[in-house]
Amino acid sequence: MRVLITGGAGFLGSHLSDAFIARGDEVFVLDTGSIAKVRHLLDNPRFHYVHDSVFNIELIDSLVSKVNLIYHLAAVVGVEHYVADPYETLNVNVNGTQNVLKAAYKHNKRLVFSSTSEVYGRNPKVPWREDDDRVLGATSIDRWCYSTSKAVGEHFCFAYHKLGLPVTVVRYFNAYGPRLDKVDVGRLFTIFMGQLLRGADLTVVGDGLQTRCFTYVTDAIEATVRAGVNPAADGQAINIGVDVETTVLEFAKLMLELFGPTKSKIKFVTQEEVYGNSYEDIPRRVPDNTKMRTLLGVTPKVNLRDGVKISMDWFRKEMAS
């Protein structure tokens, strides 16, 4: 099978590339970023890296015509990015997604769209099922542009599905692991990891009682692969994540414990200090992962302590080299 992964040189994309190469498939990656996360695949004759963007419509059309399955992961992600540049977030996540969907529809190629738990917003009813309501803040708060852009992408996916395109939406809940972002930016793990490596305090926003469900990358990727190869997933939105809640404060304490002797301690900060006035936090994020378990047949295997330890060891080796 031939697989196209837009954004395939990123965190999830690189692991997804590994998974399909391990299956014996041929992988085409389209990405504008660094090759660092896929460098180990460059000599593999079944791996093809194309350095370009989803706005190159002719290229997208050519790549889509060659493959059997498309994973659309290319997007602007990370709080620091969508708070700083909401225009780019909306442009890439909405208009770029349309370009890929149009090509998929033209050539009738199955597509898996990478979405996010952010689409649920701050709905207080947890755990979130795939058909639950979205509860968002004001459009004047830049923080909600990412959630909105991904929801618009989902709407386009389901609109194309009504036209006959085989499509599946996967919503990730705090995936983490080796190759995740750069230290000091992006997700909680890399922010805390960067602070630990520098001997700085771990900055916990607010009281730290907001919860997340941290999903180790191999579990997320197993579900992602199955979402693309299982015909039963067609037309579905599927939560990808563990359903075990962990507070941000608990997560910070766990990282301090596993890191070992350090001068770092926990420092509580306001969200305005970190993100300015264009950010609102989400108190709880918990998936109902019934579909992932039953429809895809995936039960998360890696617990948080083991996953964090593996990830820490990887980042330490990377920094040392």
What does the pLDDT look like over 17-73, one tens digit per residue? 999 999 999 999 999 999 999 999 999 999 999 999 999 999 999 999 999 999 999
**Active-site residue identified among 71, 82, 146, 216:** 146
**Rounded average pLDDT over 122-142:** 95
Tell me how crowded residue 76 is: count the other CB atoms within 10 A of its CB. 19
Percent of the chain residues past pLDDT 90, beyond the cut: 88
- Predicted confidence at residue 278, as pLDDT, reads 63
Residues 6+ apart with CB under 8 A from 151: 115, 119, 134
In order of their start, the domains of the chain are 2-175+216-242+286-301 (3.40.50.720)
Helix extents (H) in the chain: 11-23, 57-66, 79-84, 86-90, 97-107, 144-162, 188-198, 217-229, 248-259, 271-275, 290-294, 304-320
**DSSP H or E stretch at residue 113:** strand 110-116
**C-alpha distances in Å from residue 189, one per residue of 133, 158, 172:** 28, 33, 15
- Look at 321 and 283; give whichever has higher pLDDT: 283
Cα Rg for the chain, rounded, in angstroms? Answer: 19
Active site residue 146: yes
Q: Any idea how long the chain is? A: 321
Task: Name the one residue in this structure whose structure tokens are 């997700």.
Answer: 187
Cα separation of 95 and 89, whole Å? 10
Q: How confident is the model at residue 78 (pLDDT cuts 50, 70, 90)?
A: confident
Q: Read off the DSSP letter of residue 37.
A: G
Instruction: State pTM to two decimals.
Output: 0.96
Q: What distance separates the 2 farthest-apart alpha carbons in the chain? A: 58
> Any idea what the Cα angle at residue 14 is, between residues 309 and 315, rounded to 5°?
30
